[in-house]
Structure 1
Amino acid sequence: MVGVKTYFPENTPEFSHFRKRFRQKFDSNYPEEEQDEPGIFAVQGYNAVKLLQKYLTENIQEWKPIHEPTVEIVSVIGKKYNSVYWTEGLGFSDDINGASVYTHSMHNVGRSLWPVQPWYAHRRRRMNQEKTSGKRMKVAVPCTSLFPEFVKCEDSIDGFVIKVFDEMMTKMNQPYDAIPFYGTYDQLMEEVYSEKYDAAAGDVTITEKRQESVIFTQPYTESGLEMIVPVRSGSSNQSWLFLKPFTSGMWRLIVAITIYNGFVIWLIERSHDKNLQGSIITQIGIILWLAFSSLFTLRGDKMHSNLSRMAVVVWLFVALVIIQSYTASLASMLTTPKLEPTITSVDMLKNMNATVGYCNGSSIYDYLKVVLGFEDLKISSYNSTDGYAEALNSREIAAIFLEVPAAKVFLAKYCKSFIRTGETFKVGGFGFAFGSRFSRLLDANKALTNISESRKLKELEDEYLNSGKCVDEEPEENQSLNCHSFWVLFVLTVGTSTIALSIYIIMRIIEFIKFKPKHINLFQLIAFIKVWQRRSRMRRSSTIVPNGEIEIQYTH
């Protein structure tokens, strides 16, 4: 639509002050009226009275003529509008200011009103529409698309984008021939601009630069650019999840230290308790029972040596810390969301000086460089989704950037290893490109709207974009606790048990030397140990005092 209205400057302090006073007065006199903006007649009346007040009295000689009348010509296109100005005696101009350039030919300013083509172009083409509507259009299809779900050029041309374009052209009753194109997307736009092709049907992103040479339909997909990064994940429904809080090395060390402490306790206490003796198999079972039962109870009343009590107290403290850590880690794995991005923002990428990836030949490169501020050396291009995945898994790149529909397809395929960060950057979305001579853009947009409202678009999305299966494997768990978190505690308990064992051995050696000072050999040592153990049991059974303490007497 094109309209004309009287022009007056609305952005001056004088007008802002006048509008404020006018609305206050108007609301006071007519409170039931909603439209309280001053019209052109109010402005003209106010200006006339203001001029009379200023020049009517003694300054009549300084009267200045009112500026030449100016009108604003407005062209409304969709939800946007453009303006040019016409001033009586001067002509047309793109702007009204002190440096305005005027011309008497509207062709020199028509680009401001109609940035695509002159005002008379559509009328001439509408007259020839009936003649040209039956002509088959040559439509280029980009066969270098990274995602075959959008465009696939194998035995035949197929894909989500092609099906949507075919539905649109069918509703427009416009025949066409699809022609494979193997160049870049920018080269494709140049071919459409040079009229080698009438249109381009592919996953082409709408950008300002491309709109300078071709015209686009409205986006037929969600618009936006998303950042995808690896995840830190863990699944709460695994059968062996209870082992995940600790690494395998941690579990092995816990078992080894537990058995070692059980052996020390058994060796020190066996001379005081006949229940700790027996066959080899029986004693092995007793060692294991002592080892793991000491994880949960002190059993101080059952022990007869301060050395074993000392070892058990320290091990029980260490075991308490380990058990509490295990419980907290397991609870976190069961309750914490299992898909967490390793990187959450573009600023984090820049602080890490990380490299990012994008689809080779797409318009994302300019956005990464100009808008997001990445350096050339930190931007890598890839030609396949597998290349994306391998680069992310190998840490060659820290993130990739994809349009929203492409990101959905990528994450549907690699659903366990990668995740979107939640930050979406505004870009144009996918649209169908036509040459500047195409006169049925309104019909094309109407057809796309009909496809969307009739659920046909949703059906095509389910068939081509949402039907993929996840092919990647579960990522390794990175939250398990390892030995480095508890090495001080392990050194403490092993050291305490070793000290107790050393003191016990030294005491036995001293006692043996005291009874057998000369001609000591291996057989005598073994015989002494057996006799000493038998005497110890006899003394323990015959020297129990009322207060429960053990009194040991040695006889020569």
Structure 2
Amino acid sequence: MMISCVVLLIAPTGAGDDDGGKKLIIGLPYYKSGFAQFVDVQIDPTNNNNQVVQASGYSIAVFNATIAYLTRLHHGISFEFRAFVNNNGSSAGYYDALVSQISAEKYDAVVGDVTILENRFNHADFTLPYTQSNVKMLVKIRHDPRLNMWILYDRLIGEKIQWGFLLWLPVVQAVFPERESLAKNCSRFVLVMWLILWLIVRDLLVDNLMINSSRVKNYSSIKDYKEALDKGSHNGGVDAIFDEAPYFKAFLKQYGSNYAVVSTKHHAAGFGFAFRKGSNLTSHFSKAILNIRESNEMDGIEERYFGSSDDDGNKDQSNSSSNASPQSYCL
């Protein structure tokens, strides 16, 4: 969804704007190689204020929907998007730095895929989240034509898989009585492996992630995620990626057939819009977010950018858990 850099909504006063109805300056994250599915901006090269010519993406679509809702309530809000860039046109910093610009009075608000974190409340207030953002794990899977089945590709659990084979026969006998036994051994194997996967993942994270931080790498785009998983840790890549669920929705829409998402125990607060501390706009936009989440409008926005929830659910193996920290990392 493309929108103009300035939207002026004319309505009676009393819209909740603490600055007497002035035009709001809203900061946007700017990453040329980042997740453009959430925020994608084009800057006016002739403007020294980093004024945005066009903005699109999931987060912008949600913001636009909240503006439409407030307009129906006769609230008048004028705003202008500004990209968070430095003098040479590159990003001026990550999300903590972007949010801090509100307390520095450079921006009145920040819109984007900004996670609600405790430390960011030092610089701004946040609306209610517009996403339900759980922390999940993304892994590469490969197809073995000899077995006609899908296998999780994770070198780090290779040794533990050997114990899985030892447990395979007694577990199958316990779970599937002879009168209900499956036709193919490979089908039995798949089902049993999912039963013990949560134990494998838990041990994996405790032994290899929490202790050995040198194996953690940072990536910032869907393309980076794919290249790292395709390489695997043997070739300088990674075997698993941990991040918030919305990013994996965008990934799976583009590359879903060869990858799977596994749920963890951890939850993030979700994405929210940031405003100046004490601003009445925070409550107004929170109410607007609730309205679109309770309606079919949010479902339509998510389907437009991430595909249907059914498609995503087929790739999410929700029986696994981890003791990983709720931050974005890869291993």
- TM-score scaled by length of structure 2: 0.62
**What is the CA distance between 1:333 and its match in structure 2?**
4.0
- 1:138 equivalenced with 2:31 (yes/no): no
Partner residue of 2:65?
Answer: 167
- 1:450 equivalenced with 2:291 (yes/no): yes
Spell out the pairing of 1:94-493 with structure 2 (5 A cutoff).
132-144=19-31, 146-154=34-42, 156-172=54-70, 173-181=76-84, 182=91, 183-231=93-141, 233=143, 244=147, 331-333=184-186, 337=190, 344-351=200-207, 353=208, 373=210, 375-396=212-233, 397-466=238-307
Contact conserved, 1:141 with 1:201, CA < 8 A, in 2?
A: yes
Aligned partners of 2:137, 2:112: CA distance in 1, in Å? 22
What secondary structure does 1:345 align onto? helix
Distance 1:136 1:219, change over 3 A: same
Contact conserved, 1:345 with 1:421, CA < 8 A, in 2?
A: no
Report the residue type matching 2:68 in the other structure.
T
Partner residue of 1:304?
Answer: none
Aligned partners of 1:227, 1:185: CA distance in 2, in Å? 22
What secondary structure does 2:114 align onto? coil
Report the residue type matching 1:150 in the other structure.
F
Contact conserved, 2:37 with 2:57, CA < 8 A, in 1?
A: yes
**What is the CA distance between 1:224 and its match in structure 2?**
1.6
**What is the CA distance between 1:215 and its match in structure 2?**
0.6
Distance 1:409 1:330, change over 3 A: farther
**What is the CA distance between 1:170 and its match in structure 2?**
3.2
Deviations 1:347-382 (A, max 9, x none): 31342x36xxxxxxxxxxxxxxxxxx3554222111
Gaps of 5+ in 2: 1-12, 43-52, 71-75, 85-90, 149-180, 312-331
Contact conserved, 1:244 with 1:330, CA < 8 A, in 2?
A: no
**What is the CA distance between 1:404 and its match in structure 2?**
1.3
In terms of fraction of residues, the more helix-rich structure is 1
Aligned partners of 1:137, 1:399: CA distance in 2, in Å? 41
Distance 1:131 1:148, change over 3 A: closer
Aligned partners of 2:121, 2:30: CA distance in 1, in Å? 22
Contact conserved, 1:169 with 1:175, CA < 8 A, in 2?
A: no
CA RMSD of aligned residues (A): 3.4
Report the residue type matching 1:206 in the other structure.
I
**What is the CA distance between 1:434 and its match in structure 2?**
0.8
Gaps of 5+ in 1: 1-125, 235-240, 246-327, 355-372, 471-556
Report the residue type matching 2:252 in the other structure.
L
Larger Rg, first or second structure (1 or 2): 1
**What is the CA distance between 1:426 and its match in structure 2?**
1.6
Give the paired residue count: 236
Distance 1:343 1:411, change over 3 A: farther
In terms of fraction of residues, the more strand-rich structure is 2
Aligned partners of 1:342, 1:232: CA distance in 2, in Å? 20
**What is the CA distance between 1:165 and its match in structure 2?**
0.9
Contact conserved, 1:223 with 1:403, CA < 8 A, in 2?
A: yes
